[in-house]
Amino acid sequence: MGSKSDAESGKKSKEQAEQELSAAEVLPPHGEALRECTEAQIHDLSCPGLYINRETSWLEFNARVLNEGLDSRQPLLEQLKFLCIFRSNLDEFFMIRVANVQRQYENHVPSTGPDKTPPGRQLAEIRRLVLAQLAQAQEHWSKWLVPHLRERGVRLVRYCDLTRKQQKFLDQYFADEVFPALTPQAIDPSHPLPVISALTLNFLVQLEDKHGVTRYARLKIPNNFPRLVFSPRSKEAKSYTSLGFSSNTRDNDIILLETLVQQHLPMLFPGMKIVNSALFRITRNADVEIEEDEADDLLEAVRDLVDQRRFGDVVRLEVAHSMPADMRRFLVDILELKPFQVYRVKGPMAFSSLMALYGLDRPGLKDEPMYPVLPKPFAEESGEAIFDALRAQDVLLFHPYQSFGAVQEFIRRASEDPGVIAIKQTLYRVGKDSPIVQALIEARRSGKQVTAVVELKARFDEASNIGWAEEMEKAGVHVVYGIPGMKIHAKLCLVVRRETQGVRRYVHIGSGNYNPSTAKIYTDMGLMTSHPGICAEVSELFNVMTGYAEKDDYTHLLVAPHGMRRAIVAAIRREVERQRSHGDGFIVLKCNQLVDKICIQELYQASQAGVRVRLQVRGVCCLRPNVPGLSENIEVTSIVGRFLEHVRLYYFHNGGDPTLYMGSADLMPRNLDRRIEVLAPILDPALRERVSREVLKPHIEDSRVYRLQADGSYTPPDPPKGEQGGVQYRMLEKFGCLAE
């Protein structure tokens, strides 16, 4: 990356200083890498061009999210929601994935992916794609959403657009409330640039003193004030509380907090001339590793990690598009960045925080409300009803169409049931207000044996998990922090109950987190069963997670890291044998990510043998479908819609006696090699048939899906996505979740 800024060379032009990555060429056009593969390489699967780059595949996924926000047929606040998700996804992508690629580039580490793309070329392509996507998002925001929201009474305005009465009141609000909380910080040799925490909004202010000397200062926008400031138009606000997000009337103008602060910057720098001011924001490397072998106390090590993340290496600098070049160079130099790390942003910075607008009480600007169904045994008042039902047959829950309240009721009633003697549960991302954790605490207080396996290293949820772990420990819950070097990603709850016939176990195995908030917006499945074999194996797995037990020979469950990949490969190969002997090989996989090279190669070989393979991969997919001689029997689709597709289902036809697994695992090296994951078989033939016919088949055959092409691009849904009738809408109708 040999390009240098003007500040470094003093010779190059302004345009040259803004080059992205001069020495690193962008990736070849879609499909070019594939065309370089020879027939022999396709046969032995050795050509890197047979595999799509992981980072560009992820950006293709985020482009699908963006497309939802650009769809003018969507309700206005739904469009806003998807634009916010798109920007939030980008923040995390830079914090984790781009930070990792940048580290590889700086340390001259070759590519670790099967596509073998050098890190420099990846960084260049990432920048090219991100800039193009940001331009689309900003144009839609400024030219479509803002004016149409204004027409519907959601008015985002500039300070100068306010009436004098509104301005006067906001001036007083700033002086009384905001001004005392602001701390301008000088930047000069005696005042070096203060450490700026990640993702905070800041002003860089260019000043001139009375001697004509240029000065710089940084001003952080406080994040404990509402970003959206509401001001009534027709009547004067009576108190400052009416400026916050407490007002849902249509008689409001809305300005951003930073707009109000910028208007009043002279109050913060008396005696100085403000030459210019502009917002900036930095993204830091959040992929901080814990040296577990060296940590005496994992809880303290994770707590330190949370603090360190705010001040990791800078990965990206976002600056307001209007920021002058000399101010940009000042920041680039003082932060020791390269030009390709700088992104000029039009419109609101930290866009994802505008999701607060989605909280407006404006149902006409949102999707039709849904009402999740609570299955009968979980709605009955009798505490015995759930256990009676599970002794009779397995139950499979499909969220959010079926209420996550069923899972909460299962755990709550277990905590209250006098016959229950023990509860064991894994906790990965439970949220900030968890009724499930409270139920575990109550169970312990009532004398039950309670074990919680808490994954402290659940990225970005560490602080919440630390808090819950400490609260449970205070209540006497046996809290375990997992296995060194592994993340515990399996979603398991085991209830041990003393009954008339003896001790019996009940199990919940899920694909999603025990989090009632995300359960409303993620599609997930949960299997509840009292099957003796499955329950016994879940018990054994808890012993592995909490003690020194070692086990890798499960009969029913597929458990990573020891046997899951091996079992999936064996199931794929059985379909190959069926195809050769009977011609009926058929595989359907529905998951979030498909990255694992070994699994991809097995699927390629299955296709070459004639097996029909249908894949539905929501996010990253490194497999190329529809390649002659390689994958012409593989079809890959992706659903991006109202709900985040999070279900994992693995179906193998097996000559008409199918095997169907559900659980928490995606086909990625990290899931298969460095996590405790569980896939559980759906053993009840009637339940398996119903899931295959009523859930898996409609999703795979839906016409309103994105389709992956051999060149790595996706074709959009046909017919148009904005029309009613996609599979998620049909599921809402099927389960009776829509109002009459």
| Weakest-pLDDT range from 338-342, 548-552, 695-699, 711-715 | 548-552
592 contacts 646 by C-beta, under 8 angstroms: yes
Structure tokens at 36: 């370089």
Nearest to 585 by CA among 651, 648, 661, 632: 651
The pLDDT assigned to 247 comes to 45
For the cut 80, the answer to whether the pLDDT of residue 291 exceeds it is no
Q: Which is more confidently placed, 287 or 179? A: 179
Q: What is the dihedral sign for C-alpha 221, 222, 228, 229?
A: negative
Of the listed 140, 191, 478, 489, which one is catalytic?
489
Structure confidence by residue, pLDDT tens digits, 347-388: 999 999 999 999 999 999 999 999 999 998 898 877 789 999
The pLDDT assigned to 468 comes to 86
Q: Can you list the alpha helix ranges (DSSP code H) found in 112-227?
A: 119-140, 146-151, 164-173
Q: For residue 501, give the DSSP letter.
A: T
C-alpha 709 chain-centroid distance = 24
Coil vs helix vs strand at 652: strand
118 contacts 24 by C-beta, under 8 angstroms: yes
Q: What is the spatial distance between Cα 189 and Cα 182, in angstroms, rounded to a whole number? A: 22
Q: What is the mean pLDDT of residues 81-96?
A: 96
Catalytic site residue 108?
A: no
Q: What is the mean pLDDT of residues 560-581?
A: 97
Nearest to 700 by CA among 642, 622, 647: 647
The pLDDT assigned to 550 comes to 83
Coil vs helix vs strand at 280: strand
Q: What is the spatial distance between Cα 328 and Cα 334, in angstroms, rounded to a whole number? A: 10
634 contacts 626 by C-beta, under 8 angstroms: yes
Nearest to 610 by CA among 582, 591, 589, 643: 582
Q: Which is more confidently placed, 380 or 250? A: 380
Question: What pLDDT band is residue 4 in, cutting at 50, 70 and 90?
Answer: very low
CB atoms within 10 A of CB 712: 23
Please give the C-alpha separations between residue 31 and each of 37, 49, 637, 712, in angstroms, as whole numbers: 10, 8, 18, 7
The pLDDT assigned to 245 comes to 42
Coil vs helix vs strand at 114: coil
Residues 611-614: contacts with CB within 8 Å, 24+ apart?
611/572, 611/575, 611/576, 611/578, 611/579, 611/585, 611/586, 611/587, 612/585, 612/586, 612/587, 613/587, 613/588, 613/589, 614/587, 614/588, 614/589, 614/700
Q: Which is more confidently placed, 44 or 633? A: 633
Rg value, the chain, Cα: 28
Question: What pLDDT band is residue 151 in, cutting at 50, 70 and 90?
Answer: very high
C-alpha 586 chain-centroid distance = 31
359 contacts 490 by C-beta, under 8 angstroms: no
Residue 470 has φ and ψ, to the nearest 5°, of -65, -40
Structure tokens at 209: 């003193």
The pLDDT assigned to 9 comes to 39
Residue 298 has φ and ψ, to the nearest 5°, of -60, -35
CATH number of this structure's domain 18-125: 1.20.58
Question: What pLDDT band is residue 323 in, cutting at 50, 70 and 90?
Answer: very high
Q: What is the mean pLDDT of residues 560-577?
A: 97
Contact partners, residue 703, CB within 8 Å, separation at least 6:
717, 718, 719
Which of these CATH numbers, 3.40.190.10, 3.30.70.270, 3.30.1840.10, 3.30.460.80, describes 154-365?
3.30.1840.10
Q: What is the mean pLDDT of residues 459-485?
A: 85
| Domain range list for the chain | 18-125, 154-365, 376-546, 558-734
Residue 219 has φ and ψ, to the nearest 5°, of -130, 115
Please give the C-alpha separations between residue 531 and each of 191, 415, 504, 681, in angstroms, as whole numbers: 67, 21, 10, 11
CATH class of 376-546: alpha beta
Q: What is the mean pLDDT of residues 649-677?
A: 97
The pLDDT assigned to 609 comes to 97
- Fold match, 154-365 / 558-734: no
Q: What is the spatial distance between Cα 616 and Cα 601, in angstroms, rounded to a whole number? A: 17
Coil vs helix vs strand at 701: helix
The pLDDT assigned to 381 comes to 77
Q: What is the spatial distance between Cα 114 and Cα 595, in angstroms, rounded to a whole number? A: 9
CATH class of 558-734: alpha beta
Structure tokens at 474: 């205070």
Q: Which is more confidently placed, 730 or 13? A: 730
CB-based burial of residue 629 (10 Å sphere; 0-12 exposed, 13-18 middle, 19+ buried)?
exposed
Please give the C-alpha separations between residue 356 and each of 2, 248, 352, in angstroms, as whole numbers: 42, 12, 9
214 contacts 206 by C-beta, under 8 angstroms: yes
Structure confidence by residue, pLDDT tens digits, 513-550: 999 999 999 999 999 999 999 999 999 999 999 988 88
Nearest to 126 by CA among 81, 62, 201: 62
Question: What pLDDT band is residue 35 in, cutting at 50, 70 and 90?
Answer: confident
Q: What is the spatial distance between Cα 94 and Cα 112, in angstroms, rounded to a whole number? A: 18
pTM score of the predicted model: 0.91
Mean of the per-residue pLDDT values of the chain: 89
Question: What pLDDT band is residue 684 in, cutting at 50, 70 and 90?
Answer: very high
The pLDDT assigned to 724 comes to 63
The pLDDT assigned to 236 comes to 60
Q: What is the spatial distance between Cα 179 and Cα 183, in angstroms, rounded to a whole number? A: 9
Q: What is the spatial distance between Cα 227 and Cα 231, in angstroms, rounded to a whole number? A: 13
